[in-house]
Each structure stands twice: as C-alpha cells, then as structure tokens.
C-alpha cells in the first residue's frame, strides 16, 4: 500500500507514526491469532501533523478498510467459536441499543461538545439507518466509517457519535455474516 505525501508546505500525518501502525497491522495479518491491533485501536488512532506528511484522506481510508477487515475477521471467529444462535442474541442486543438511540429526538441523541461534529452531517448519516423487522438497515459499513462529519462548536460529541456508528457497523457486519 502506497500512501502519498502532501507538499512540504502543507501538513499531513506523521509518516513515522503511520508507518509504525501499518507495520503492526502487517504483523497482525501475518499472525491472525495475535492481538497486536484491534478494530477499536484503529478507530482511535491519532497522528501528529508534520509538514510534508501523509495525506489525511488516504491514511484515513486505509485505516477504515483495515478496521473493517479486522472486524469481519473477529465476527467470523466469534461465530465459529460460539455458534450462530449465540451471536444472533448478541446482535439483537446491539440492534436494540441502536434502536434506543434512533428513537430519541435528534437533538438529544448525543451530548453537545466544544469540538463536536456538524449536527446536520450527523443527522444526514444517521437518517439512513432504520430497523425493520428486527434487522438494521442502512448504508454500507464503510460509508458509516468514512463519512465526513466536519467539526462544529456545540455539535454532537465525537466520541459518542463514533461509538454509536461503531455499534451500527458491527450490527450490519454481523447480520451479513450470519446470512
């Protein structure tokens, strides 16, 4: 995977830090039973900004794809280990949690934050999610992982939104893998 750098006059992600994470990811792929990197770790990965660093969009897309791959692998392993019946119970609980958030008025779903997301962007994304006959319907998990939600003072808390979207992604993946 080749990630492009920005001009030396612009800021990008620190290549050393990104390469360090990607090296751990490579080791994880080589030894799938290890827990060097988890989807949760990838979701909170932060990098310093340096002149001439890696392009934000390319790094973010690569990490989202890796997190998606790891999550699918983890769910598949859980289905194998615990069986479909047990995992179906887990996903029903998860969909119940998603349903609780969706049932709340949009302005009450997430706490306001000094450095939150843009409320309109969050609502536009979340409005694509719905529950029908116990199944979560929505966009592809990668859309939920990679949609640009901007920043706004007083907007929905980023951590809360990210946690909610992660639940929705896990539910969507699990449903698909259960077939």
114-141, pLDDT tens digit by residue?
Answer: 999 999 999 999 999 999 999 999 999 9
pLDDT of residue 41: 82
- pLDDT value of position 100: 96
Q: What are the start-end ranges of the H helices in 12-157?
A: 15-30, 39-43, 56-82, 84-103, 119-126, 141-146
pLDDT value for 1:
67
Q: What is d(CA 40, CA 62) in angstroms, rounded to the nearest whole number?
A: 15
Cα end-to-end span (Å), the chain: 31
Token pair belonging to 88: 């179906």
List C-alpha distances in Å: 138 to 28, 127, 130, 173. Answer: 30, 9, 7, 11
* Cβ contact 159:115 at 8 Å: no
pTM, 2 dp: 0.86
Give domain limits for the chain.
1-82, 83-179
pLDDT at 29: 85
* 170 three-state secondary structure: helix
pLDDT of the residue at 103: 96
Task: State the pLDDT at residue 130.
Answer: 96
DSSP H or E run through 132: strand 130-132
Determine the angle formed by the axes of helices 84-103 and 56-82, rounding to 10 degrees.
130
- Do residues 119 and 156 touch, judged by C-beta distance below 8 A? yes
Structure token digits, residue 118:
């843009």
115-131 per-residue burial string, b: 16 or more CB within 10 A, e: under 16: ebbebebbeebbeebeb
């Amino acid at each position: 995977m080749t990630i492009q750098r920005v001009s030396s006059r612009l800021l990008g992600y620190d290549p050393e830090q990104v390469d360090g994470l990607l090296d751990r990811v490579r080791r994880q792929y080589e030894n799938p039973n290890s827990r060097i990197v988890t989807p949760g770790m990838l979701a909170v990965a932060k990098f310093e900004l340096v002149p001439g660093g890696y392009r934000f969009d390319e790094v973010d897309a690569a990490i989202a794809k890796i997190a998606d791959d790891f999550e699918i692998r983890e769910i598949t392993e859980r289905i194998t280990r615990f069986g479909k019946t047990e995992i179906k119970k887990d996903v029903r609980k998860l969909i119940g949690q998603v349903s609780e958030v969706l049932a709340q008025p949009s302005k009450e779903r997430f706490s306001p934050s000094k450095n939150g997301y843009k409320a309109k962007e969050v609502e536009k994304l979340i409005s694509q999610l719905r529950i029908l006959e116990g199944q979560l319907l929505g966009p592809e998990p990668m859309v939920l992982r990679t949609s640009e939600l901007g920043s706004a003072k007083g907007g929905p808390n980023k951590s809360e939104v990210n946690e909610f979207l992660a639940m929705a992604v896990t539910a969507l993946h699990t449903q698909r893998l259960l077939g």
